[in-house]
Amino acid sequence: MLMSVFGRLMLLENSMANKISFPIVIIILVILFWGSAIAGGRRLYPLRTQSSDITALPSFSTEGICSSLVKTQGYACEEHLVTTVDGYVLSVPRIPVGRSRGPRGNRPPVLLQHGLFMDGITWLLLPPSQSLAFLLADNGFDVWIANTRGTKYSRQHISLPTNSSDYWNWSWDELVAYDLPATFQYVHDQTGQKLHYIGHSQGTLIALAALSKDQLLNMLRSAALLSPIAYVSQMTSPLAKNAADNFFAEYLYKLGIFEFSLRGDAVIQFLKDMCKKPGIDCTNLLTTFTGPNCCLSPSIVNIFLDHEPQSTATKNMIHLSQMIRQGTIAMFDYMNIDENTRHYGRPTPPVYDMTRIPNSLPLYLSYGGADALSDVKDVQRLLETLDDHDGDKLVVQYRNDYAHADYVMGENAKRDIYEPLISFFKLQ
């Protein structure tokens, strides 16, 4: 099995050899190979309960992002747990006040949603004076940090073990249908207020999809979308594009690999050691996937590797690959008329219609000219669907030099992105 995976990876290497440097290809393929190897062998376990048997789990947790990364910086933090309708238990840390510990009052809540292969630590990778989560708290917001199912702090389920294929039987459709509504409802109930929302990458995709289906609107105050993902057929990332074109995720799924993990401890340590050597710029590890980031400090890669990348479902990777190949934003395609009909009542998957997003919803979109995942042409296609949006409700920011990772790890992001975003929120 592993040799078959390696052979598939070598095909990807050959197809990309004329686009990116050979050493970087080898490094990334090693990560993929190692991650696939440790994720292999997932087998179907029988369900122990039905959805009607769901019982409430505790709403608070004592371990997680709060104790490891927030309280250590002098901020108050609470660990909350949210259970979705389909039984996934999600970690949602809360930073209720800034470092000065002023009164809580009626601080407006803001929910931060990370992207693919990341978790809530996305918003805490930079120093406290530059990290968006801390900046929001210091500027009077009640900050809630989402962690998608399958990531380090959201690997609980009321009945399914994480090494079962059932646990990983989801794509971003389920994040739209279950994770996002459950988290929104919980924060709304806890605070009694409508939410501001900030998403990055996949975090923008699930928000746009939900909004196109009239979800969340009664609980949403405004939304900020960083590196927005809706249409992805024009993406220029050679790694993502070639993986999709070669049906890599579909191949892993057929091998029985249902958890798509890029993280292996030995490989992560190897990369961290390599990055310490003089003359090696490890930001290139991200460049191959994200595009040439303008503003990453070389030291940020080691911090990134301490916490990321995170797992996702192989089915989710298949869904994203379908979007790349087909140029659509639609629900998961089972590639079988009978299966699609069973799930959707029609032979083809329903489309998420971006034109249905309400014109009066305050939106802040920021995208970069060097982003290989949220390509300029794809973002412009999204913006065309928002042509009728109220002029005073849509702010579009374009940074010619920014790529995908700059939005969450860039040294200049505070000045370039976060401060204008916070001003936008305060106007709402």
- Residues marked active site are found at 201, 371, 404
Task: State how beta strands 220-226 and 195-200 pair.
Answer: parallel
Strand partners, 109: 142
| Helix locations, 94-201, DSSP H | 132-138, 172-174, 180-191
Q: At what angle do helices 314-326 and 238-245 cross, to 10 degrees?
A: 90
The two structure tokens encoding residue 184: 């929104």
Burial class (CB within 10 angstroms; exposed 0-12, middle 13-18, buried 19+) of 202:
buried
**Where does residue 192 rank: exposed (0-12), middle (13-18), buried (19+ CB within 10 A)?**
exposed
List the one residue out of 424, 423, 402 whose CA is nearest residue 413.
402
Output phi, psi for 416, to 5 deg: -80, -35
- Round to whole Å and give the CA distance between 381 and 356: 15
Cα 91 to Cα 196: distance, rounded to the nearest angstrom: 19
Question: What radius of gyration, in Å, describes the C-alpha atoms of the chain?
Answer: 21
In degrees rounded to 5, what are phi and psi of residue 170?
A: -155, 160
Q: Tell whether omega for the bond before 161 is within 30 degrees of 0, i.e. cis.
A: no
Q: Determine contact, residues 372/339, Cβ cutoff 8 Å.
A: no
Q: Side chain identity at 411, as an amino acid letter? A: E
